[in-house]
Amino acid sequence: MENKQTLLFRLYQILCEYSDEEHPLTQQRIIELLERDFGLVVERKAVGRNMSYLKEMGYNIRSDKRGSYIEDRPFENSELRILIDSVLGSSHISAVHSGQLIDKLIAAGGHNFKAHVKHVYSVKDWNKTKNPDLFLNIDIVDEAIENEKQIYFDYNKMGVDKKLHKIACHVVSPYQMVLHNQHYYLMARDEKWKDVSFYRMDKITGMRIIDESRTPIKTVEGYKNGIDYKVISTCRPYMYADAPVHIVIRADEKSIDDIIDWFGDEIRVKPLENGMITVDLVASPEAMKHWAMQYGSNAEVLSPESLRNTIRETIIKMQEKYQRSDAECHK
């Protein structure tokens, strides 16, 4: 019985690893792979008999005149490639964890998929977090949210030595983790300052659950109806926690792609003369200030006046820096 169970398991492993619709395996090839990979010497009849057992047990195996193969894999090759690229491009996942995840994804595609990803860039070529606690922190946050508990953590920033340095400690009520612009953020209420903030998960160390019930989100000012995730994604492109306000900008109509990318498509656009448009939207003033500085040559904030004045003051300070002579810059 043990030998039969072993053969069934190994046969299924061979099919998963080496077969798909474009690469069916003949019984002879299966016999060769069983001996090469697992040291099992079997006859052709045994392979056919155990293949029938696997089909009767409900495994998605198809056989035709070319051979046998796993018919439906969990992921198409293109889907696996998208997932692998997502891991590679995620700066919040460390190089070690990225490598481990990519190995698992490649294994899910089987032997034939590996040939398609030989050209995938090495993980070390990408900008990755140096914080190894990210996955542990995610587990802790999940547990705290499920049990409605508060958490403690140290918050850090990068120093000139390219290492994380503690700048503050927080006790918070966690509500959600949000993936935004290639970074994970913890959305939580700071129990000292009584406001909701967004914390970069890869900047957090020393996280632990404490035995205090978290503050219900609907009791927090501005969240009586709960969390609107669409508002978070469109009104907070830089994940600042200040309250969103109504903003009007004037921009080159060629900038509409960038505006929609950052603020979503629930904006009101009015065409003007000379290829210009006005755009009405709702966003964080602090986020809009940074966006306006980035796209300043093609966009202008018209209102509110307070935000326009803040941007003007920032531009004046920048102008003062860039008007200095080269000699003054190097003093």
The C-alpha atoms of residue 227 and residue 61 are separated, in whole angstroms, by 45
Q: How confident is the model at residue 260 (pLDDT cuts 50, 70, 90)?
A: confident
The C-alpha atoms of residue 214 and residue 164 are separated, in whole angstroms, by 28
313, 254: one domain: yes
217, 152: one domain: yes
Percent of the chain surpassing pLDDT 70: 88
**pLDDT of residue 331 exceeding 70:** no
Mean pLDDT of 146-174: 91
CATH code where residue 252 lies: 3.30.70
259, 303: one domain: yes
Which range marks the domain in which residue 310 is found? 245-322
180, 112: one domain: no
pLDDT in tens, 21-67: 888 999 999 999 999 988 888 888 889 888 888 888 888 888 999 99
User: How many other CB atoms are there within 10 angstroms of residue 314's CB atom?
Assistant: 15
Count Cβ neighbours within 10 Å for each residue of 24-45 and write b for 16 or more, e otherwise. bbebebbbebbeeebebebeee
pLDDT in tens, 190-245: 999 999 999 988 889 999 999 999 999 999 988 888 887 777 766 666 677 778 89
pLDDT in tens, 128-142: 677 778 888 888 998
Mean pLDDT of 233-262: 83
Angle between helices 2-18 and 44-56 (to 10 degrees): 80
What 8-state DSSP symbol labels residue 219?
G
The C-alpha atoms of residue 154 and residue 131 are separated, in whole angstroms, by 13
pLDDT for the residue numbered 330: 65
88, 147: one domain: no
End position of a domain, from candidates 70, 94, 113: 70
Is 265 a member of any domain? yes
**pLDDT of residue 309 exceeding 80:** yes
262, 220: one domain: no
142, 165: one domain: yes
pLDDT for the residue numbered 5: 67
Q: Which one has a higher pLDDT value, 53 or 169?
A: 169
C-alpha distances out from residue 135 to 99, 205, 258, Å: 14, 11, 32
Phi and psi (nearest 5°) for 173?
A: -100, 110
Q: Which one has a higher pLDDT value, 83 or 172?
A: 172
Q: Are 259 and 237 in contact (CB under 8 A)?
A: no
Name the pTM for this structure.
0.59
Is 235 a member of any domain? no
Is 327 a member of any domain? no
221, 138: one domain: yes
pLDDT for the residue numbered 117: 63
**pLDDT of residue 124 exceeding 60:** no
**pLDDT of residue 308 exceeding 90:** yes
Cβ neighbours for 263, distance < 8 A, ≥ 6 positions apart = 234, 235, 237, 281, 283
Is 239 a member of any domain? no
Residue 1 has, within 13 A of its CA and on its CB side, a CA count of 0
Place of tokens 């498509």: 265
Is 45 a member of any domain? yes
Q: Are 285 and 237 in contact (CB under 8 A)?
A: no
**pLDDT of residue 125 exceeding 70:** no
Cβ neighbours for 124, distance < 8 A, ≥ 6 positions apart = 95
C-alpha distances out from residue 76 to 17, 71, 308, Å: 14, 11, 49
Place of tokens 């080159």: 252
Q: How confident is the model at residue 104 (pLDDT cuts 50, 70, 90)?
A: confident
Is 328 a member of any domain? no
β-strand partners of 248: 280, 303
Is 233 a member of any domain? no
DSSP line for 281-324: EEE-HHHHHHHHHHSTTTEEEEE-HHHHHHHHHHHHHHHHHHTS
CATH code where residue 29 lies: 1.10.10.10
Q: How confident is the model at residue 2 (pLDDT cuts 50, 70, 90)?
A: very low
193, 267: one domain: no
Total of domains in the chain: 4
pLDDT for the residue numbered 17: 81
Sign of CA dihedral 31, 34, 39, 40: negative
Three-state secondary structure call for residue 197: strand
The C-alpha atoms of residue 226 and residue 51 are separated, in whole angstroms, by 53
pLDDT for the residue numbered 53: 84
**pLDDT of residue 265 exceeding 90:** no
Mean pLDDT of 310-331: 82
Is 213 a member of any domain? yes
